[in-house]
Amino acid sequence: MKPLKIGKHTIKHPIIQGGMGLGISWDRLAGSVSKHGGLGVISAVGTGYYEDKKYAKKLVEGRPLLESEFYNRDALFKIVENARKICSDAPLGCNVLYAINDYGRVVKDACEAGVDIIITGAGLPMDMPEYTKDFPDVALVPIVSTGRAFKLIAKRWEKRYGRIPDAVIVEGPLSGGHQGFKYEDCLKEENQLEHLIPDVRAEVDKWDPNIPVIAAGGIWSHEDIVKFMELGADGVQLGTRFALTHECDASDEFKQILLNAKKEDIVLMKSPVGYPARGIRTKLIEKVEKREGPVIKCISNCVFPCNRGEEARKVGYCIADRLADAYLGDEELGLYFSGAYAYKADKLLSVEELMKELIGE
């Protein structure tokens, strides 16, 4: 497997650990992946919860107040600093969702904190380069689901900023967390990753054939990686497999719920972000379906499509509070995201063991 070059950064093995919020990929996981030759990606979601919320200055009912505390700058700096203690100057990424409130500020924070690559999904980041102007070495990587989406981004960036993306991640509908398709479209054959890769590759080649295309969603084994590379990908991004490592920053309960999941427990559910999300059907989901979910207060004002709790009230849960509870290991009230194949796992691995397995050693 060839190294993956993204902008000015060379990643020894073409394997990216997808950013996972809330608190699933912070310093320990991302630092360890980068140390072992992949690209570790810190999630910028809910950093106000880092280290028992010690960086959050304002809490209400134990929750970081508003976006400034929820996407906590001091905590993000500390996470990057601690990840660097593990991976030194190996390339390190940060995942910042486009749908968050304060997107531009958080991208700037991540650059100032010293990450090398910013990855953005959950919306088309038309103005992403706006926030990284002072950091020309930081590579920019959008997540898309179609060649058309890449074209729209590249066209706008070229016209307005004189640059195009340094790489692109193509996420198919078997991935964990939010999807790039409507519910019915997630199930269609033509939207499966095998069909998306050639479509995006063809579009990217029109702009610059050297731009890496990275496949994500439902990739489990070394054989899967080889298969997607044969279809035109230069690298892969995996989430669920990295969530199932000792170094993953989530609680033990989080990992155990993923390990215990059976095939039929992993479902697509509604989310206040406006896209379906893949996760585990736990007690929370049953409660939400019966409209018996916990009270929605919108303390953290996390994502703009939720419109200060309006969508949360429609779907029946607050995504910030529920993801935070999963991070903290609350089995009753936590929301547990997972890719479609978590049921294949029966034990946790170390990041080193997993990386060796993935590269086929």
Ligand X SMILES: Cc1cc2nc3c(=O)[nH]c(=O)nc-3n(C[C@H](O)[C@H](O)[C@H](O)COP(=O)(O)O)c2cc1C
Q: List binders of ligand X among 247-266 (CB under 6 A).
A: none
Of residues 216 and 299, the one with the C-beta less far from ligand X:
216
Q: How many CA atoms lie within 13 A of 252 on its CB side?
A: 0
Of residues 177 and 274, the one with the C-beta less far from ligand X:
177
Of residues 14 and 339, the one with the C-beta less far from ligand X:
339
- Cα dihedral value 43, 237, 99, 318, nearest 10: -70
CA 136, distance to chain mean position in Å, is 23
Q: Decide: is 48 part of the binding site for ligand X (CB under 6 A).
A: no
Classify 26 as helix, strand or coil.
Answer: coil
Q: Which stretch binds ligand X (CB under 6 A): 29-37, 57-65, 66-74, 168-176?
A: 168-176
Q: Decide: is 46 part of the binding site for ligand X (CB under 6 A).
A: no
Classify the C-alpha dihedral 160-162-163-164 as positive or negative: positive
Q: Decide: is 97 part of the binding site for ligand X (CB under 6 A).
A: yes
Of residues 20 and 328, the one with the C-beta less far from ligand X:
20
Q: Are strands 4-6 and 9-11 parallel, antiparallel or unpaired?
A: antiparallel
Cβ 242 to ligand X, closest distance in Å?
Answer: 8
Q: Decide: is 165 part of the binding site for ligand X (CB under 6 A).
A: no
Of residues 95 and 191, the one with the C-beta less far from ligand X:
95
Q: Which of 18, 31, 37, 142 binds ligand X (CB under 6 A)?
A: 18
The residue to which tokens 């989430």 are assigned = 239
Q: List binders of ligand X among 229-248 (CB under 6 A).
A: 237-240, 243
Q: Which residue is nearest to ligand X (CB)?
A: 239
Burial of 161 (0-12, 13-18, 19+ CB in 10 A): middle
Query: What residues have CB less than 8 Å from 112, skipping those under 6 apart?
Result: 77
Q: Which stretch binds ligand X (CB under 6 A): 4-12, 15-23, 79-87, 146-154?
A: 15-23
Alpha helix positions (H), the chain:
27-35, 50-53, 66-70, 73-87, 103-113, 147-161, 183-186, 193-207, 222-230, 240-243, 252-260, 283-289, 310-315, 319-328, 351-359
Q: Which of 124, 197, 213, 219 binds ligand X (CB under 6 A)?
A: 219
Of residues 147 and 239, the one with the C-beta less far from ligand X:
239
DSSP string, 66-84: HHHHHT-HHHHHHHHHHHH
Print the binding letters for residues 173-192 with ligand X: x by CB under 6 A, - otherwise: -xxxx---------------
Q: Which stretch binds ligand X (CB under 6 A): 85-93, 156-164, 179-187, 335-343?
A: 335-343
Identify residue 101 by its one-letter amino acid code: N
Q: Decide: is 32 part of the binding site for ligand X (CB under 6 A).
A: no
Task: Point out which residues bind ligand X (CB under 6 A).
Answer: 18-21, 24, 43, 45, 95, 97, 121, 143, 171, 174-177, 216-219, 237-240, 243, 337-339
